[in-house]
Structures are given as C-alpha cells and as structure tokens.
C-alpha cells in the first residue's frame, strides 16, 4: 500500500509536527474545559441544535457513559500506559497518517489524563470535565473527539493495510 511516508531526513520535522499537533489538541481541550467551567452551570442543558446537541457541564469519574465510575484510578493507569505506548510507537512511525493519528490520540489522552491528575476529588482520581451533550446519550469533551477520531483513523489505516513503519529503505521517488 502506497501512502505518504516520512523520508529518513525528515524525522526531525515529523517529530516537531507530532509534538505541535499533540500540544495543540491538548491546549484546545484544556481551553474548552476552562471555558465550560467558567460559563456553564453543572447539570443545566443549553440546546445548540434543539435537543439533539447542546452544552451541559458534568464531572465524569468513569469512562464513556460513566462506565466504572467507582474505579477512576484504573482509567488513570490505563491513560498513563496509553501515553507510554504512543511515545514508544512514535519512534517507529514512518507514515504521516499514523504520525498524525498518534498525535491526535496523545493530545486527547493527555487532556483527559490531566483531569484525572489535577481535578477534584484528588490526584489520580479526578473527574473529567465533560460538556458536549449528544442527544442525552452521553456527554463528552473535545479530548474525546480527538480520541474517537484517532480510533476511527486507526481502524481505517489498519483495514487499508497501512503499516505503522516500513522496514524497507525509502526510495527517492517516495520522498515527497
């Protein structure tokens, strides 16, 4: 499968792009959470698209749908492991699509992980700030959007047979 590859001489640029994309995702998530905390009242629904989509500030101790709300510390550990795996994989990536996907995943994971570490009720068990209400089915945040987009990208890249790295040296024809 041919796809955009990161040429050997462009690894420094790809690392800078990876760091910038990750930090931008992280900053956008933190900024939108701070906005939600400053502007929204907990539990009050503000419709944006009727009842289909709106804003509602909630503090989620669990995963999606408040799954395992009593085991917040487990999600903290999982997120730390995910960050480690992403950073380990990043060193092997030679594909631009995979590099951007991993950067989105890292930025989103860091956004929710920072809530787990620094929000109430305490270090490692903090509740994630959620404020995007999808038809009452679930409430999420911008970090969740980055994580879901990355998960879909991982599925698509995997189904297309796009390798994370290429063991073969890059030819001059594919350096663009």
**pLDDT one-digit tens code per residue, 39-95:** 999 999 999 999 999 999 999 986 665 555 567 788 889 999 999 999 999 988 989
Q: What does the pLDDT read at residue 173?
A: 46
Q: Which candidate in 29, 130, 173, 175 is catalytic? A: 130
**Rg of the chain, C-alpha, whole Å:** 18
Q: What does the pLDDT read at residue 66?
A: 58
**41-76 CB burial, b ≥16 within 10 A, e <16:** eeeeeeeeeeeeebbbbbbbbbbeebeeeeebeebb
Q: Which candidate in 115, 144, 173, 175 is catalytic? A: 144
Q: What does the pLDDT read at residue 124?
A: 86
Structure-block tokens of residue 102: 């991993």
Known active-site residue 144: yes
pLDDT > 60? residue 167: no
pTM score of the predicted model: 0.86
Instruction: Over range 5-12, report the average pLDDT.
Output: 74
Structure-block tokens of residue 75: 């999600």
């Amino acid at each position: 499968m041919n796809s955009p590859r990161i040429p050997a001489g462009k690894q420094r640029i790809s690392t800078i792009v990876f760091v910038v994309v990750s930090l931008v995702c992280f900053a956008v998530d933190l900024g939108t959470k701070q906005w939600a905390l400053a502007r929204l009242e907990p539990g009050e629904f503000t419709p944006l698209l009727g009842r289909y989509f709106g804003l509602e500030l909630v503090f989620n101790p669990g995963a999606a749908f408040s799954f395992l709300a009593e085991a917040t510390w487990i999600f903290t550990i999982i997120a730390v492991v995910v960050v480690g795996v992403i950073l380990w994989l990043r060193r092997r990536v030679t594909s631009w699509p995979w590099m951007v996907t991993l950067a989105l995943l890292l930025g989103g994971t860091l956004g929710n992980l920072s809530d787990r570490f620094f929000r109430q009720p305490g270090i490692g068990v903090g509740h994630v700030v959620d404020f995007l209400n999808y038809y009452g089915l679930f409430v999420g945040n911008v970090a969740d959007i980055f994580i879901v987009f990355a998960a879909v990208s991982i599925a698509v890249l995997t189904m297309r047979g796009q390798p994370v790295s290429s063991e073969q040296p890059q030819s001059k024809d594919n350096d663009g």
